[in-house]
Chains A and B, each alone.
Chain A
Amino acid sequence: MSAGRQPAGFQVSAGGETHPGHVRNKNEDCFLTDPEIGLYLVLDGMGGHMAGDVASARAREVIRAEVRANLRRKPPPTLLEDAINAGSAAVHADARRNRDLTGMGTTVVGCFLTERHAVIAHVGDSRAYLLHEGRLRLLTRDHTVVAELVARNALSVAEAQVHPYKSVLSRNLGGRPDAKVDLSEIDLQPGDRLLLCSDGLSGFASHEAMEQVLAGAEDAERAAADLIELALRGGGGDNVTALVVDCGPEVVAESTQELRTGVATAWWSRREMFRREARARRVHESPICAVLSPDEAVAIVAGNLCEAIYHDLEQSAGLHVWTFAENLASGWLDQGGDYPVLRDLLDRLRESALAVIVEVATVDARMAIALETSILRALIVAEMAVAGAIGERMRRTEELLVTQHTRETTAPTFADEKTIPFTGAHKIEPASPVVVACLERARSTGLAGLPGGDSAPQAAACIDAAHRAALHDVGSEHDPMTAVRELFGSRVMSESALRPLLESLDVARSEHLRAVQVQKDDPAIRAAALRRLASIHQGMMGALALVVAESAQAVADQFRIATVRTARLRAEVGRTEARLSRLERDLAGIVERRR
């Protein structure tokens, strides 16, 4: 009995037996169980010819080799059909080459197990049955001349059973290079039992007896032996072969913790192999490792990555690999290194890891899948770290570009032409010389009276700006709007940028007005200066609000426009992607049909 890989998600076991029967000396039947790939075959070499056993054995080996070679390249039905055709071509070619083999051929019935499915293929009169919940069901239709006459209602079932040509095949392997293969797919359940057999069984045992034997046998091997016995008791007039495949209980996944520990251990136990693979892929020749000896390069780069992956697998985290990749990428990019060099090194390391996984697969296919999934996760983390390092450099470069752009476009002065007419309280008459003198003194006093601290320079600038505005007429380059534009400096909208300016304006206003009040001028002169300055300071505060509103308005407008455009683009992209996808599917269909 054979049990191995579990391609169907069940614990599969199979047992087969063949016997020459009581009449023939030679057994031209043969069978194959290959649990590793989930392939099971029964072949019946054509008994009336010289080399039926050669034909069945040759077809069996070719079919197995073809399935193994194309296991992951073709969908199961195509895989099995192509393999059987290759078997037919090989038998046909051998028969043409060797006169002793002329006319040889064979039947075949095959089963390829996939996830809870079986693909059944057959040519000739070898059969497949399914025993499900105690009931036996025939899955194939014989390719005999008589069976086809019955199918066309040209012959009754009773007539067929006694027809002299009831064993004459209408299809076989070897008669022509390509056999006409019948294919079907069935869903399997735990407890199902598949039977593949030659006509030496179905021709000498009743359906009911076969059902009873199959349902009663304790395992696949016993079932096959009992079926052979049944055929022999029924006369044994032909070679007889029975192959039984049992679908046992479902394979139960191990716990996540168990699997994780197993994966980490499987990786760590192959650390030397990973280093060897890294060396074989010439990791040490990467320009990133230029200052290291080959041994150091492999030990540091491959060794550290190997260790980082191990720790992350063990802890189900990503920190170690992230740190490794971040350091590697940042270190290289900071010294002006090119991305393709970094990419090349990362790819070599990934290929080294995949080589280790290939080795694991030869020992334990399931572990290899779990390990590859985990390693890929670690490598995704590494890619994220590299993206972070690149993103950081993108931001730095963007800042540089903005600085360059700002310097080019706003070089002369920020005070561009007025976009908001300012009609505030500073609309006043030209100052008289005595008021100007008072203002000059008040400026000096006000500047001297400013409290220290971070806001002092800006408050001083506010006093200066108000002073200049107070000395000039509306519309001059020294009006409050222009002054505030200069003070505002840049159009940053955050509170942290505005608050110091507001505080400076406030401090400047109180100090400036207090400075006028302490002058020894005539009260009327001080009053005139006060009115003028109060008006100017009020105007500056108002101007600030307008400048902020002006900037915010522009941003808000842009945002609204961007939102509308983004929504339109999103809808358009969605529609286009759907259209593109449909076209690609249509194209794939056309290409497929042409093939």
Chain B
Amino acid sequence: MARHARTFATIRPEVLERLVDVRGSIDHTLSGVPSHLIRQEFDAVLDRMEAYLSDQDVDRYRSFATRWVAFRLGEGFSPENLIHSVVAIGDVVLEVGRRRLTPGPDTSEFVREVARMNFAAARIIVEILAAELETMRRSAGRSQTS
């Protein structure tokens, strides 16, 4: 797995630049965020991705995703926008990877590994949203009974 993390590290600067460039299409609310702040935020996401590619630690990835989701929901992201933005970030990694890396078996394996990571992220986001829905439902149920 470490080799995929190493490959990721080689394209990471370009991925970061691309993310900053296309942040408005990832979510329109991000276009108003100053570049230096959004760069810091995306860099943190990429840091986590690199760590996940290296250690495959789903729990650590989940705890990061939980914080990330909480912030985005607080900023008014809809659940659809939220998962869309996560998948879009993963797609940018794939896009840069396909463009920058030489075609061959190792690149194919890297692409698959990133796809696995993207799926894991999407699944985690759905789980967090489902937990949020459950909390809201319980809250609504309590209000009705009281």
Query: Is A545 an interface position by the 8 A CB rule?
Result: no
Give every chain A residue within 8 A of B58 (Cβ-Cβ): none
Most chain B CB atoms below 10 A, which of A6, A253, A394, A567: A394
What CA separation (Å) do A404 and B34 show in the bound complex? 38
For chain B, what secondary structure do more than half of its interface residues adopt (helix, strand, loop), or is it mixed?
helix
The reply to whether the CB of A556 lies closer than 8 angstroms to some CB of chain B is: no
**Is the pair B44, A573 in contact by a Cβ cutoff of 8 Å?**
yes
* Contact status of A370 and B44, CB under 8 A, knowing A376-B118, A388-B79, A401-B140: no
9 interchain pairs, CB-CB under 8 A = A343-B127, A369-B112, A377-B115, A384-B80, A384-B87, A404-B140, A571-B40, A574-B43, A578-B47
Residues of B within 8 A of A573 (CB): 41, 44, 67, 71
Give the size of the chain A interface in residues (CB under 8 angstroms).
52
B116 at the interface (CB under 8 A from A): yes
Please report the C-alpha to C-alpha distance between residue A376 and residue B119 in the assembled complex, in whole angstroms: 6
Q: Return A187 CB to nearest CB of chain B, in Å.
A: 13
Contact yes or no, B136 A401, CB < 8 A: yes
- Indicate if the CB atoms of B105 and A251 lie closer than 8 Å: yes
Query: Contact at A380–B133, with CB atoms within 8 Å?
Result: no
Contact with B along A279-296 (1 / 0, CB 8 A): 000000000000000000
Q: A383-B126, A573-B44 are in contact. List 12 more A-B contacts (CB 8 A).
A: A114-B106, A250-B102, A373-B111, A376-B118, A380-B87, A383-B122, A384-B83, A387-B79, A387-B129, A390-B79, A394-B129, A574-B43
Beta-carbon contact of B132 and A394 below 8 Å = yes
Contact A339 B134 (CB under 8 A): yes
Interface string of A491-528 (1 = CB under 8 A from B): 00000000000000000000000000000000000000
Q: Mark B3-33, 1 if CB is under 8 A from A, else 0.
A: 1000000000000000000000000000001
Contact status A574-B140, CB under 8 Å: no
B47, closest chain A residue (CB) = A581
B79 lies within 8 A of A570 (CB): no
Chain A nearest CB, measured from B76 CB (Å): 9
A345 CB to nearest B CB, Å:
13
Are the C-beta atoms of B130 and A372 separated by less than 8 Å? no
**Is the Cβ of A252 less than 8 Å from the Cβ of B103?**
yes
Whether B125 is near chain A, meaning CB under 8 Å from some CB there, is yes
Are A570 and B41 in contact, CB atoms less than 8 angstroms apart? yes
Please indicate the chain B residues that have their CB under 8 angstroms from the CB of A327 in the complex: none
- Is A397 on the interface with B (CB-CB < 8 A)? yes
What's the Cα separation between A585 and B45 when bound, in Å? 15
Number of B residues contacting the other chain (C-beta, 8 Å)?
55
Task: Out of B64, B104, B137, name the residue touching A251 (CB < 8 Å).
Answer: B104
**A567 partner residues in chain B, CB cutoff 8 A:** 34, 37
Check A366 against B105 for contact (C-beta < 8 Å). yes
Q: Which of A9, A398, A577 has the most CB of B within 10 A?
A: A577
- B82-113 CB contact bits vs A (8 Å, 1 = yes)? 11100100100000000000111110110110
B75 at the interface (CB under 8 A from A): yes
Check A577 against B136 for contact (C-beta < 8 Å). Answer: no
Q: Is the interface of A mostly helix, strand, loop or mixed?
A: helix
Which B residues touch A570, using CB under 8 A? 33, 37, 40-41
Across the interface, do A581 and B51 meet the contact criterion of CB distance under 8 Å?
Answer: yes
B35 lies within 8 A of chain A by Cβ: no
In the bound complex, what is the Cα–Cα distance between A408 and B105 (angstroms)?
Answer: 63
Contacts of B41 in A (CB 8 A): 570, 573-574
Identify A115's interface contact among B3, B82, B126, CB under 8 A: B3
Are B3 and A376 closer than 8 Å at their CB atoms? no
A-facing residues in B53-77 (Cβ within 8 Å) = 55, 60, 64, 67, 71, 75
User: Is A71 part of the contact surface with B, judged by Cβ < 8 Å?
Assistant: no
Residue-wise, chain A 385-422 has the 8 Å CB interface mask toward B (1 for contact) of 01110110111011011001100100000000000000
**Chain A residues whose C-beta falls within 8 Å of the C-beta of B139 in the assembled complex:** 401
A323 to chain B, nearest CB (A): 16
Q: Does A569 contact B (CB under 8 A)?
A: yes
Contact A387 to B55, CB < 8 A, known contacts A9-B105, A75-B2, A397-B133: no
Q: In the complex, A369→B43 CA distance in Å?
A: 28
Q: From residue B79, how far is it (CB to closest CB) to chain A in Å?
A: 3
Q: Is the CB of A391 within 8 A of B3?
A: no
Residue numbers in A under 8 Å from B80 (CB-CB): 384, 387-388, 391
Once the chains are docked, how many angstroms separate the CA of A578 from the CA of B82? 22
